[in-house]
């Protein structure tokens, strides 16, 4: 958690969080419970969390509680919008969302799985690469939900556990891009061993990075490109420039609409550049993504309909 530019109260809050949560999580699995005195469901859940944490203490599990009224800055950093919110923390990063594990049985099942996967002091896990698939899936879910910063934290943790795992490294690059940390994403790609560059997942991440480089400097630049495209619908170059900027800015529906129209009306422009750009976007997003599947169908109708 960054501390640059914080006021005195915020810095004190970060220091408390580091002492109570981050430092224990370096070797232990911390159940982090966001709660408040006025929250009935929080009070109902508390005995279950306390009981399970006590039973799992010898396995390396500890319980930390954050009162959202007293620690509003920390709650805001975790984007807590409702309580109770419960995370599992390891080495300073959230590795699982435990909020929906409301029963003792559910909570124990998740903890057992995590303890098998993570090298927790006192636990049974070795943190082996073969055990991290559920954590990769969680990182991908967080990334798909649009929380690039949190996803980057998860994948950074996984990269320490499995530095040679292509899925982990690809997820890290894409999460850093989603968080707007393009230079860090490039550095992560550059640091990969040569043998990983041939992996399809890394290829997808590299394509996403290439497309991110086309992002406009600010909203004003994107607005100018949009206006130029709208002013001259027959200008393929203006349409193309706006589409690639819109996609890099996260407005992929608008980008696809412009490119599909360009494919339909000027398919041979610039040696089929509009179709090629769409295919590049599909690769970056992932061929199994619902948006890609829907847009590919539209492209097929234009090409073969």
Active centre residues (catalytic) = 39, 42
d(CA 237, CA 264): 15
Residue recorded with tokens 């039973």: 55
Strand arrangement of the beta sheet that strand 85-90 belongs to: 61-67, 29-35, 85-90, 93-97
Closest CA to 87 of 59, 65, 103, 105: 65
Closest CA to 153 of 132, 175, 122: 175
Exposed/middle/buried for residue 108 (C-beta within 10 Å: 0-12, 13-18, 19+): middle
d(CA 277, CA 92): 39
CA 98, 103, 104, 105 dihedral sign is negative
Sequence-ordered list of residues with C-beta below 8 angstroms from that of 197, at least 6 positions apart, any chain: 203, 206
d(CA 28, CA 119): 9
Beta carbons of 157 and 165 less than 8 angstroms apart: no
191-195 LR contacts (CB < 8 Å, sep 24+): 193/164
Q: Quick check: bond before 84 cis, omega within 30?
A: yes
Distance separating the N- and C-terminal Cα atoms of the chain: 52
């Amino acid at each position: 958690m960054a501390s640059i530019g914080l006021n005195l109260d915020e810095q004190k809050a970060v220091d408390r969080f580091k002492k109570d949560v981050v430092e224990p999580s370096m070797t232990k699995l911390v159940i982090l419970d966001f709660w408040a005195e006025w929250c009935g469901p929080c009070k109902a859940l508390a005995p279950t969390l306390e009981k399970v944490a006590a039973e799992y203490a010898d396995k390396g599990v500890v319980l930390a509680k954050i009162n959202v009224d007293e620690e509003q800055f920390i709650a805001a950093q975790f984007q807590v919008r409702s309580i109770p919110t419960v995370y599992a923390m390891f080495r300073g990063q959230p590795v699982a969302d435990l909020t929906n594990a409301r029963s003792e049985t559910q909570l124990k099942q998740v903890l057992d799985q995590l303890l098998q996967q993570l090298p927790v002091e006192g636990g049974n896990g070795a943190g082996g690469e073969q055990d991290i698939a559920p954590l990769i899936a969680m990182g991908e879910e967080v990334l798909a939900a649009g929380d690039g910063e949190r996803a980057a934290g998860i994948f950074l943790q996984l990269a320490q556990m499995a530095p040679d795992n292509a899925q982990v490294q690809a997820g890290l690059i894409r999460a850093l891009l989603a968080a707007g940390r393009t230079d860090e994403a490039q550095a992560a790609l550059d640091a990969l061993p040569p043998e990983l560059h041939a992996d399809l997942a890394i290829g997808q991440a590299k394509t996403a990075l290439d497309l991110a480089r086309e992002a406009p400097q600010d909203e004003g630049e994107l607005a100018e490109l949009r206006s130029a495209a709208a002013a001259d619908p027959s200008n393929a170059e203006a349409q193309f420039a706006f589409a690639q900027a819109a996609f890099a800015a996260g407005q992929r529906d608008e980008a696809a609409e412009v490119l599909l129209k360009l494919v339909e009306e000027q398919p041979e422009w610039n040696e089929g550049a509009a179709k090629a750009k769409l295919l590049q976007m599909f690769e970056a997003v992932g061929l199994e993504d619902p948006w890609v599947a829907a847009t590919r169908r539209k492209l097929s109708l234009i090409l073969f309909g």
